[in-house]
Amino acid sequence: MMKYTLLSALLITSTSSFAATKAKKEILLDNADVEVIRATYPAGSESGVHTHIYANRVVYFVKGGKLAITPEDTSKPVRIITVKDGQTLYMPGGTHNVKNIGNSEIIIVETEIKNSKL
C-alpha cells in the first residue's frame, strides 16, 4: 500500500510541474455597464481559453511585454504583440488564449463594455 501511495504522490507532483502557470485575475468593478479586471501574467503564464462575450473592450498595460494571442478558431493565425508600459489597446471580443511569451511579468487592466450605448 505504501508503494502505491508514494507512486501516486510522485505522479501528482510530476504532472503538476508540467502544467502551464495560470494568469491571476482580480475583478475590480462589475456592474450592468462594465466589467473591469486586473490580470497579472508571470513570464510563461497563460489565461487559458476564454470568451469575451461583449464586443468592445479596452486593455491598459500597466506593465507591458510580449504576448501570443491564439484564437479558438485554428484557421486564424496566432497574433504576437509587443506592448509598452502604459500602452492602451482596443481589442474586439471573441474566444482565445493569451500567453506571456516574454521574460517579465505583464500586468493589464481590462475594461469590457457591456452596455453598447456607453
Q: Per-residue pLDDT tens for 62-111?
A: 999 999 999 999 899 999 999 999 999 998 889 999 999 999 999 999 99
Alpha carbon distance 108, 63 (integer Å): 7
**pLDDT confidence tier of residue 54, bands split at 50, 70 and 90:** confident
- Write the single-letter amino acid at 30: D
Residue 20 confidence (pLDDT): 64
Alpha carbon distance 31, 84 (integer Å): 29
Domain ranges, ordered by start, for the chain: 20-113
Whose cell is 498595460? That residue is 61
Q: What pTM was computed for the model?
A: 0.78
Is CATH 2.60.120.10 the right assignment for the domain spanning 20-113?
yes
User: Which residues make beta-bridge pairs with 40?
Assistant: 24, 107
Residue 118 confidence (pLDDT): 57
Q: Per-residue pLDDT tens for 10-29?
A: 334 333 334 468 889 999 99
Mean pLDDT across 34-53: 94
